[in-house]
Structure 1
């Protein structure tokens, strides 16, 4: 039977015919129809009805409702019904505990999910691929990347064949650890198993190679995605651009940026423009950096301290003192508060600019960090053996970050 309305009619008929002992069986059979039809609300209403009629639920009752909740992608409901079992004196079996590993993991109860998983290993429960995948995801989220690999090996040792979702979850977790050799090995194993990589697989590979700064490998995945007509989102495009900034792929970054602009699915955002300006600034491509900034402003995005700091660094490396001063004017006019990185950059600028042009840099620094601004003024006009200077410096260096100390 696959019609929940018909199932209710049949149930009503038989309830008036059979004894109380048979009524539990009738309710459980009807619940299984609701599970098959994925009507969780009806299953919950039927449970309330059976309890009201004095029919005590058993393990089959709860396992059916929990399975229905899983099929409806409602892990919170699965957990809620699991935790009601003790209320009715029903003890879960090993299969139920194994199922709940996935449910607890999906609702974010990491401790309970891992506790059940450890118990499963000790008591040798039969765990499905969904539960193993959830435990891999949990370990990845908490940064236990060796744990991800151990769980994956445990799964295969138990004869459970990983599916595409499991491989993608593992790849995504290992990508965060920058273990690109493990990513490559897992990907090759997946291909040998006969599974066809989809968008999620390519996205995980791209993130992994980008984070590990494997430029050629990342670009190969990108090209493969384009050949297979897979649509990249802004996150993946920006991850690619950040990798290009790290490894010096300037031409590739420009090509990716132009590809984004031609895309119907996503356009460059503020992070895209900012990263491209960073790339041009890093490699002293002044005109390209300025043109990108102008394009960014035309697109409706605003200047921020990160972009302007990169421009200042570009001008400093190119000995364009007047442009440094002009950018400082923009920072002051827009009332943008410099951060520690920009303060570090401004300190470096002061070592390459005439003394008479230091005032604006000092005012910018003082706006972000009054103590640092005061110390810089003392450096400019005081004897470094002066006791006041020493005291100010000692107090300041106890509170500033590494960027400013290095500067």
Structure 2
């Protein structure tokens, strides 16, 4: 006869309370049968093992040893009687003699009990979940319900709705000192049905009846709060747990790291995480995923990658949630290349992307302007029958508009309109109007505007800003004036971007056309309109102009806006041949610290830094610097051996022209002895001897004439 097999009882001490599903077989903690037994989830040191037989004969009784004194019916940590110090070290042995009559009687009795409990559990699952009906069913089982039987009834039920009133009935049959088991079972049911409010009421009742909560009580409350998307409650119950002098285990710490991370309590999350690494606690995958998400939300993208790499070293395998959180963070950081590498690693680990994965990956590629990669993800989603939401369509179309993928954008827009689940909104139309505006396609932009209005959307300030840009490229000043009047009619308040765009357009128009805009602009923005009118109508009074300009800049809050406005107005001054006004604005910008670190001086080198200026501002600063050099030379001031001008590389964002190329040409126009440095990109250098010779043979009026002639 084959000997009975030993069943290991080792599992996580917390596993019974982490999303466990009810077992379909009856769980009977009988010392005689272990075939369908759902045993307590003891800590890893508590194992059921088959002890050596005393002799080789099969007639010797089989001896099982359970390294715990608590009856096996008890579940998880509270069942291990961690509050009973004597129970931790004691052992009990159950002898089973398979062929004795007594054994057969016990098995029959166990079988009868199993059958009755199964029938009772099924009856409870199918009955009405009212207290009266549940009580009627349970009364059929008899009044002498033991603790073990009560627990078995609960463990074999599948309906949380009827189990909760069943628990209330069974509590009346159990000694108060052992009711913690049933209260914990009640809390577990609350967790399964995600009713945290009821769980708190159960806990309050538990305290009112004098039942002492244990580790499982608090761990279940903490995990229940997490399952109900209440991480702040998880934190609250963790702190309450410490006030009861209940020592958390690894699983609780892991859950709390997860909760602190989701609430963006960075200090506590990282404090517990650092302690977990030092003390080698087991941290589960969800906690790592939450840490990655936390770092992403606070903008520490290197921290996301650091946690991800530590996770792989410490053992837990990243799951799809971890990868999705990491891809989302890298998308926010516009690190498209890293997002691609992480995605490929996810695929190589055997995970198939779901809708969330595609969503964050598409956002990452769109933000990083990885056009082909973004379109590839879009096509793959469409091939798999996945629908995009309006946010993803918006990001995709915005990217296409920004990088010039006009044909692709039009095709995506057509497919979006045919989608049964998603239709264009105001932002979608705004992106397409902006795309046409950047290309100067007036008719297409106006057609999209008309379609937007037919769709029930009124043009917003973004749309009107794009149209101003479009009309400016086409030199259609009357249409720009019409937009300004439309702002007043619609009651739309223009923002800084609108005026920024309008100033940029005005720098490209002839003087008489600018006057048309200035007259209407004064109605929309009196301060800006007054500054422009001073330039176009050449009003007298330098002091008045500076006061008007100062009033304009004082009305602005953001440094970036002030600098952009100042750059464009100086450009306008240069184009209108009013260099004195340009210098007034430059000096005002220096005084208000709108411009900083334009000049630098040392004993060996004087330098002018023009990289961050617009063309007109850079040209004005260059001539002011040359004038300062002339003044220094005339006053006998010592000029250092080397003079340098840094122009940087590439085009300025406000112009299609390359600042370096334009100013290099202008230096040649001035016959200035500055030469491009071969080993220092963007720099033009000269010696003090060359500079002195050049300054001495030119007059200050030449500088003004050169500035006035620059267009």
Say whether the fold is shared (TM-score over 0.5): yes
User: 2:170 — aligned with what?
Assistant: 10
User: 2:242 — aligned with what?
Assistant: 86
Q: SS at 2:316's partner residue?
A: coil
User: 1:324 — aligned with what?
Assistant: 480
User: 2:566 — aligned with what?
Assistant: 405
Alignment partners' CA distance in 1, 2:498 and 2:228 = 51
User: 1:265 — aligned with what?
Assistant: 421
Shift in Å, 1:254: 1.0
Alignment partners' CA distance in 2, 1:72 and 1:321 = 58
Q: SS at 1:13's partner residue?
A: coil
User: 1:296 — aligned with what?
Assistant: 452
The answer to whether residue 207 in structure 2 is matched with residue 51 in structure 1 is: yes
Alignment partners' CA distance in 2, 1:328 and 1:131 = 54
User: 2:521 — aligned with what?
Assistant: 365
Which one of 371, 379, 383 corresponds to residue 535 of structure 2? 379
User: 1:219 — aligned with what?
Assistant: 375
Q: Which has the higher contact order (CA 8 A, sep 6+)?
A: 1
Alignment partners' CA distance in 1, 2:191 and 2:500 = 62
Shift in Å, 1:192: 0.5
Q: Which has the higher helix share?
A: 1
The superposition leaves residues 113-150 of structure 1 with CA deviations (integer Å, 9 ceiling, x where unpaired) of 23322332233221111111111111000000000000
Shift in Å, 1:391: 4.0
User: 2:254 — aligned with what?
Assistant: 98
Alignment partners' CA distance in 1, 2:435 and 2:174 = 75
The superposition leaves residues 198-225 of structure 1 with CA deviations (integer Å, 9 ceiling, x where unpaired) of 1111111111111111111111111111
Shift in Å, 1:234: 0.5
User: 1:241 — aligned with what?
Assistant: 397
User: 1:195 — aligned with what?
Assistant: 351
Alignment partners' CA distance in 1, 2:239 and 2:548 = 60
Specify whether residues 35 and 337 from structure 1 end up closer, same or farther in structure 2 by C-alpha distance, changes over 3 A only: closer
Residues 4 and 37, structure 1, Cα contact 8 Å, conserved in 2: no
Moved more, 243-252 or 315-324: 315-324
The answer to whether residue 285 in structure 2 is matched with residue 124 in structure 1 is: no
Alignment partners' CA distance in 2, 1:275 and 1:38 = 42
Shift in Å, 1:312: 2.0
User: 2:408 — aligned with what?
Assistant: 252
User: 1:314 — aligned with what?
Assistant: 470
Moved more, 31-40 or 81-90: 31-40
Alignment partners' CA distance in 1, 2:254 and 2:395 = 37
Shift in Å, 1:14: 2.2
The superposition leaves residues 91-126 of structure 1 with CA deviations (integer Å, 9 ceiling, x where unpaired) of 323432221111223344343323322332233221
Which one of 337, 342, 348 corresponds to residue 186 of structure 1? 342
Give the number of the structure whose alpha-carbon radius of gyration is greater: 2
Alignment partners' CA distance in 1, 2:260 and 2:369 = 35
Alignment partners' CA distance in 2, 1:41 and 1:130 = 24
Specify whether residues 313 and 60 from structure 1 end up closer, same or farther in structure 2 by C-alpha distance, changes over 3 A only: closer
Q: SS at 2:172's partner residue?
A: helix
Alignment partners' CA distance in 1, 2:358 and 2:199 = 40
The superposition leaves residues 233-287 of structure 1 with CA deviations (integer Å, 9 ceiling, x where unpaired) of 0000000011011110111111111112111111111111111000001011111
Shift in Å, 1:157: 0.7
Residues 7 and 33, structure 1, Cα contact 8 Å, conserved in 2: no
Residues 270 and 296, structure 1, Cα contact 8 Å, conserved in 2: yes
> 1:127-166, aligned counterparts within 5 Å?
127-166=283-322
Shift in Å, 1:30: 5.1
Q: Which has the higher strand share?
A: 2
- Structure 1 gaps, min length 5: none
Q: SS at 1:284's partner residue?
A: coil
User: 2:650 — aligned with what?
Assistant: none
Residues 481 and 520, structure 2, Cα contact 8 Å, conserved in 1: no
Q: TM-score, normalised by structure 1?
A: 0.90
Q: SS at 1:60's partner residue?
A: helix
Shift in Å, 1:29: 5.0
Shift in Å, 1:351: 4.4
Q: SS at 2:173's partner residue?
A: helix
Specify whether residues 381 and 80 from structure 1 end up closer, same or farther in structure 2 by C-alpha distance, changes over 3 A only: same
Q: SS at 2:388's partner residue?
A: coil
Alignment partners' CA distance in 2, 1:344 and 1:22 = 74
User: 1:67 — aligned with what?
Assistant: 223
Specify whether residues 387 and 136 from structure 1 end up closer, same or farther in structure 2 by C-alpha distance, changes over 3 A only: same
Alignment partners' CA distance in 2, 1:160 and 1:44 = 32
Alignment partners' CA distance in 2, 1:345 and 1:76 = 45
- Structure 2 gaps, min length 5: 1-154, 158-162, 569-711
Alignment partners' CA distance in 1, 2:201 and 2:166 = 16
